[in-house]
Amino acid sequence: MNQMNIATIDLNLLKVFEALHEESSASRAALRLGVTQSAVSAALRRLRDVYGDPLFVRTGRGLSPTLKANQLKPVVSDALNKCRQSLAMVDPATDNFEGRSVTVGLSDDFEIAYGRRLIEEVARCAPKLRLIFRQTHSQIVAQALMERSVDLAIAAGGFAERLLSRQVLGEGSYLCLADPTTLAPGQQTISLDEFVAREHILVSSGGFIGITDEGLAALGLSRRVCASTTHFAVLAHLLKGSQAVATIPAHAAQSIAAMTGLTLLPCPLALPRYPIEMGWRTSTQLDPVVLKVREAIVASFAAAGPLTWRPSAD
């Protein structure tokens, strides 16, 4: 390994490292950076010499980072972001966001309900900025932020970490979804007896117990879960043609029902409401690009308004 001396190192190599780590492919990294693949390969050889490590090894699925590369990634990305931040400070009012991206961690219920609105809001306030949505949830969101795999996150809590800041965006509740062909004509509610008698589809990162099971247990009741999934987006395919019912966050239920024709039903259980929060690393407070996306998230939730769904009168 060469003696480490920043005066002799081309700092553009760090951009190549970041692109290789995030794209897992020399050809895709080259496209992202607007250079040739041979230039990326040459840069990788120099990076390996600088760090005394292979950094990336070829597998059947592209380039896989080594342990050293994974250790370097948050440090390198943080350094590059500080450079980008310094350039933005020269002209904070600039609309030149091309080449910048912000990674937002969220579960797909929030992505379904707010993703399109957030894309449009970012396009308005930070044109050419790229949003990257990455799956996370309240149990792992703090770690994702601290490891810098996401820049911002939306979750039902989970931001109780000393180096994180958070802001409440709203309050969540629950609704049920069912195939209308399995309901009585005009049915807009579901009794507790029918709710328990039907099979259920559970959306859960764990796959066994959900908030509905806890609510039923408090009444001395239980339900039969016929299937569990980790993704809300697949619910329409699992519910159509089925007697099953799914109890999910209201924001996702409303969006899924609007897109698929599934019927919304109030949950016959008194399930607790919960806070919806946005979290970020406190150290990014001054990054104007992250601030723009934070403002866009707040505006998107404000535009959606409170969840005021009621059964229709007809």
pLDDT in tens, 99-153: 778 999 999 999 999 999 999 999 999 888 899 999 999 999 999 999 888 999 9
pLDDT at 270: 93
Residue 93's pLDDT band, with cuts at 50, 70 and 90, is low
What is the token pair recorded at 56?
């990336």
Rounded distance, CA 207 to CA 25, Å? 33
Residue 94's pLDDT band, with cuts at 50, 70 and 90, is low
Question: Residue 271 contacts by C-beta under 8 Å, 6 or more apart in sequence?
Answer: 173, 174, 211, 212, 215, 247
Mean pLDDT of the chain: 89
Alpha-carbon distance values, 112 to 22, 73, 106, 158, 303 (Å)? 24, 30, 10, 20, 15
Tell which CATH architecture fits domain 6-85. Answer: Orthogonal Bundle (1.10)
- SS3 for 65? strand
- CATH superfamily for domain 174-266: Periplasmic binding protein-like II (3.40.190.10)
Residue 311's pLDDT band, with cuts at 50, 70 and 90, is very low
Please compute the mean of the pLDDT values over residues 287-295 and round it to a whole number: 88
For residue 77, pLDDT beyond 90: no
- Region of residue 276 (phi > 0: left; psi between -120 and 50: alpha; otherwise: beta): beta
Question: What are all long-range contacts of 29-38, with beta carbons under 8 Å and residues at least 24 apart?
Answer: none
Rounded distance, CA 288 to CA 126, Å? 10
Residue written as token pair 């406190």: 282
Rounded distance, CA 56 to CA 70, Å? 10
pLDDT at 225: 95
For residue 265, pLDDT beyond 60: yes
Domain ranges of the chain: 6-85, 91-171+274-304, 174-266
Please compute the mean of the pLDDT values over residues 169-174 and round it to a whole number: 94
Please compute the mean of the pLDDT values over residues 219-242 and round it to a whole number: 95
What is the token pair recorded at 50?
């600088």
Rounded distance, CA 276 to CA 301, Å? 10
Identify whether the C-beta of residue 148 lies closer than 8 Å to the C-beta of residue 238: no
Q: In this predicted model, what pLDDT tens digit does every residue of 28-57 receive, in sequence order? A: 999 888 899 999 999 999 999 999 999 999
For residue 182, pLDDT beyond 60: yes
Residue written as token pair 């044109």: 127
Q: Is the pTM of this model over 0.85?
A: no
For residue 89, pLDDT beyond 70: no
Residue 308's pLDDT band, with cuts at 50, 70 and 90, is very low
In CATH, 91-171+274-304 is 3.40.190.10: yes
What is the token pair recorded at 256?
């899924």
10 Å Cβ neighbour count for 121?
21
At residue 115's C-alpha, the angle toward residues 190 and 152, to 5°, is: 115
| Domains 91-171+274-304 and 174-266 equal at CATH topology level | yes
